[in-house]
Each structure stands twice: as C-alpha cells, then as structure tokens.
Amino acid sequence: MLYYLFEYLAEHFDFPGENLYKFITFRAGFAIIISLVIALVFGKRIINYLHKLQVGETVRDLGLKGQKEKEGTPSMGGLIIILAILVPVLLLTKLNNVYILLMIFTTVWMGMIGFLDDYIKIFKKDKKGLKGKFKILGQVILGVIVGATMLWSNGITVRVDTVDAQTWNYDISKTYNLEYPVNSGKEKSFSQVKTPLTNVPFMKGNEMNYTRFLPFLSTEMAKKWVWIIFIPMIIIIVTAVSNGANLTDGLDGLATGVSAIIGATLGILAYVSGNTLAADYLGILYLPESAELVIFAAAFLGATIGFLWYNAYPAQVFMGDTGSLTIGAIIATMAILLRKELLIPILCGIFLVENFSVVLQVGYFKYTKKKYGEGRRIFRMSPIHHHYQKLGIPEAKIVTRFWIVGIMLAVITIITLKIR
C-alpha cells in the first residue's frame, strides 16, 4: 500500500529521495524493521491476551528434564509471526505481483489450518487436534494452487535465450534484446517464457526441465502433461517441509531460529534470482518480477527474529501449529517459486533429519515388534532433538548447536550457486 502511495507522491510531487521506494534493498530493510517492531511490541500484548484466555500448553510427561516447567506456557504464538509478516508485506510490496499474492495466500491458508488445529487442542480439549487427513488435505490444496500457478500464470516466467525458446518451443510471453555480456556493446535476444524449468545444484548447465521425466511423449505432449509430474512434486515438497517444521518445533527457539536462518538464505536466493546481473554471473535462472520476494523474505526474517525474543529459552510463548505449519509452508513455497526446490534437502536439512528420525523410529519399532514380538528403538526418543535431551544435553545447548548446523547448511546452499 505504501508502495503505491510513494509512487503517487513521486509522480505528482518533487521531494528529495522520491524514488528511494523503488529500491528492493530499501524496502527489504524497512520490512525487517517493521516486522521486528510488530513482533516485539504487539507480541507482548498478544502473549498477555493469550494468558488472559488461559491458552496454555498442556505438556505430556515424556520424562524430559524441565518439561513440567513449560506447563501453562501460552501457545498459538504463531499469530505474532503471521501478523509481523503480513503487515510489512501489505505495506511495502507490489500487491499485483503474482509471487507476492501466492506468498500471502500461503501464509493465510496454512495459518488458518494451524490455528484450527491449535483451537481444537486448546479450547475443545482434544489433544489430537485437527485430524491428520485434514492437515494433509490443506497442504495438498496449497501444493496444487502453487504448482498450477507456476505452470499456467502469465505472471511467472523465466528468461531464456530466444534461440533456446524457439528450439524447445516454449510459450513466449515477451522477447527483447539486451547487451550481453553487460557493457560489451553486443546485443543478444532473450525471451520470457512459461516453463517448468528449475535450477539443479552441482550440475553443469544448472537447469532441468520437468518435461524430461516424460521422455516417451513428444515435446508438445510432454508440455501438455508435465503437470502430472510437476504438481505432485510440489505437493510432496510443501507437505514434507511444513511437517518438518512442525516436528522441529519441540524445543524453545529451535524451529524459530532455524527458520530465521533459512529465511535469510531465501532472501539472498531471491535477490540473485531477481537481479539480471547476479543471475548471469552465477549462471542461474533469471526470474523477472521475483525480486519482490526479497521483501517477503525480509519480513519473514524480522518476524522470526522478533518472535525469538519471546520464544528463546525459557520460552514465554510457543508458536503452536499456527506458526510451525505456516513457516514450513512459507519456506517450501518460496523455494519452489525461486526454482530452488532441489536445494531444500540441503537448506532445510534440519527439518529433513527431524522428519527422518520419526519415520525411522516408527518404522523400526513396528518392524522389530512384528519380527521379535517387542518393539525396539533406534533413538532414545524421536524427533531427534529429544534423543539428545535423553542423553542429558541441556536444552539451550541442543538448540544452539542446531542453529550452528543450520548456518553451515545455509552457507553450503549459497555456495552451490557457483559450484558446478
């Protein structure tokens, strides 16, 4: 909203710095400040209100040190994160941008599903919360919408060489000439196309088209039916990352801190993908209009850091499913929109390990129970952060070490942009 106000003022009035709002970096920095202020100022009020409503966490006795001390801590704190994201995004971004509209939808949609789950747990006194099938359904719907929009929206395109566009018979939405390399005086023709291209880490060429998974079809038929591969892939990613964030939210500040690190990395990826010079230098796909995602990532970073003020050990509030399902879906959707979804196993390695620890634990327990008559365990407890608690490691130290690993994974993710 402020973007359009600044645009109007710059058009009708002459004042110093009138075009400052056009810079992505300025709006991103402003977004971090606004989201931080909202999380810090309004966060306390929301926590007090949750206390007043007696929206306290019911803690199951898992035999973990310090567990009972968390009894009664307000949950549903994800409302703070959602508010701190949406306000600066609505104020500072171009609201007619498809990327931003998808991210707003993702935030609101998964926020409602998480809120409903927390509401059933807390107010209806049903510890199971929203049935798992309804959570999965919500994630599937989000995946379908994101995948379908990427395939068929005219607002989401990739810049490719015009010769390649014609060779592969892409749907060309715009063609133009640019100096290439920059300032060389030589012009080259580029086209903006709708295509299921994505970046592939560690590979020369760094690009993959999902139509390659349909080699038995002609080029035209593969383009027509690529959604059979693409949309299920998006659904799997959204579901896995969202549930991974949900499982990681088991220690004070763990999911929040890890998500902040991932959010900062996604902001960098959004900047280089939406900047033609950076994209050309790194040899990655240039995504026109995607630079607005830098502002969303900045708001996400500010919101998670601001929430960490209250969520760090000992936590004054828990994010609940309202927050964990939402931040997981935001991370997955943004990575997909930036065509960096194949980097998720590295960037979201913490979420991946948390997921696998539960799958391995449950699977091995069922297998051994069937084979030996008694269930055996790989870990002392899953998700894996509880395993370390059982080993006697203090909660704050576990969280800090997970953050350090998260930073290492983020650095590796960024390095992959240049490693072929």
pLDDT in tens, 154-211: 999 999 888 877 777 777 888 888 777 666 677 888 889 988 999 998 877 678 889 8
d(CA 197, CA 85): 29
Both tokens assigned to 261: 């690190």
Considering only CA atoms, which of 351, 355, 353, 311 is closest in space to residue 332?
Answer: 351
Report which residue type is found at 41: V
Give the pLDDT score at 283.
85
Does residue 383 have a cis peptide bond before it, meaning omega lies within 30 degrees of 0?
A: yes
Q: What pTM does this model have?
A: 0.93
Percent of all residues in the chain with a pLDDT value above 90, rounded to a whole number: 64
What digits encode the pLDDT tens for the residues 227-267?
Answer: 999 999 999 999 999 999 999 998 999 999 999 999 999 99
Task: Report CA 371 to chain centroid distance, whole Å.
Answer: 40
Considering only CA atoms, which of 25, 106, 82 is closest in space to residue 298?
Answer: 25
Contact 77, 46 (CB under 8 A): yes
Give the pLDDT score at 374.
87
Low-confidence ranges of the chain (pLDDT < 70): 9, 15-18, 55-69, 181-184, 205, 420
Count Cβ atoms below 10 Å from residue 275 Cβ, excluding itself.
18
Give the pLDDT score at 66.
61
Angle at 243 between CA 242 and CA 245, to 5 degrees: 70
Give the pLDDT score at 331.
98
Helical (H) or strand (E) element with 338: none
What rounded mean pLDDT belongs to the chain? 89
| Residue whose tokens read 């710059």 | 10
| Residue whose tokens read 């930036």 | 338
